[in-house]
């Protein structure tokens, strides 16, 4: 019993080591993890998009369950790449929102300071701040739209994958039916040839008539 337990433990360690090696040997996993680690360690963006970063980690872990040569690997690789892109875009968007809020607070402070400054100077500073704020808001809106497009592309990829599997199954059924019809046609042709051969052997040719002698 003790020997059996030791063998099971050794087998479990071997399987675990093999899985870890396969995951470590996958260059796509290394690349995506490195990109996500770079985002999380970024001092400006790392604190944003925590939920999107977690979903990207989960997608990478799902991909790690398959070897690079498995067909599922490419599917989950696409999902993981899109999740990482969405996490980056969302972090940039949230950072832009925070900067926009900061600019709004600075804008309010400038209005208070403008009462103590020359009216023309205060107006120019305000216009500059508004222009910068408008640029940041436009960039934030673009990043948000990009995140929506990534999500839509992900859903479309899932739908196309399902449709491709259905088409492949239908084509396989048609091919199998064609093979069966060809086999039946060949059997029918063979039966007709055998029947023709049997009819020819049952009806022998008539014997030639003897010629009459000329003396009679």
Cα 84 to Cα 55: distance, rounded to the nearest angstrom: 9
Q: How far, in Å, CA of 150 to CA of 78, rounded?
A: 11
Confidence (pLDDT) at 22: 47
In this structure, are residues 137 and 99 in contact, taking their beta carbons and an 8 Å threshold?
A: no
In the chain, the percentage of residues whose pLDDT exceeds 70 is 80
pLDDT confidence of residue 52: 94
pLDDT score for 205: 54
Instruction: Give the separation between CA 59 and CA 213, rounded to whole angstroms.
Output: 107
pTM: 0.41
Six-digit token string for 168: 């492949």
Q: Give the C-alpha separation, 136 to 104, whole Å.
A: 12
What was the pLDDT predicted at 17? Answer: 39
On whether the CB atoms of residues 60 and 98 are closer than 8 A, the answer is no
- Which stretches in the chain have pLDDT values below 70? 1-25, 199-216
């Amino acid at each position: 019993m003790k020997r059996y337990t030791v063998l099971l433990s050794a087998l479990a360690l071997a399987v675990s080591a093999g899985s870890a090696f396969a995951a470590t040997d996958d260059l796509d996993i290394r690349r995506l993890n490195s990109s996500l680690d770079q985002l999380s360690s970024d001092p400006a963006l790392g604190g944003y998009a925590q939920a999107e970063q977690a979903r990207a980690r989960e997608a990478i872990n799902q991909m790690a369950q398959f070897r690079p040569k498995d067909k599922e690997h490419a599917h989950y690789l696409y999902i993981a790449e899109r999740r990482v892109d969405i996490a980056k875009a969302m972090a940039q968007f949230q950072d832009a929102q925070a900067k926009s809020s900061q600019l709004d607070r600075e804008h309010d402070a400038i209005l208070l300071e403008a009462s103590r400054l020359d009216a023309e100077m205060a107006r120019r500073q305000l216009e500059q701040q508004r222009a910068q704020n408008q640029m940041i808001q436009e960039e934030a809106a673009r990043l948000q739209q990009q995140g929506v497009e990534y999500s839509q592309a992900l859903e479309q990829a899932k739908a196309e994958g399902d449709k491709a599997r259905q088409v492949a199954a239908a084509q396989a059924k048609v091919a199998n039916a064609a093979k069966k019809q060809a086999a039946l046609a060949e059997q029918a042709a063979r039966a007709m040839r055998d029947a023709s051969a049997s009819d020819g052997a049952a009806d022998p040719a008539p014997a030639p008539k003897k010629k009459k002698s000329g003396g009679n």
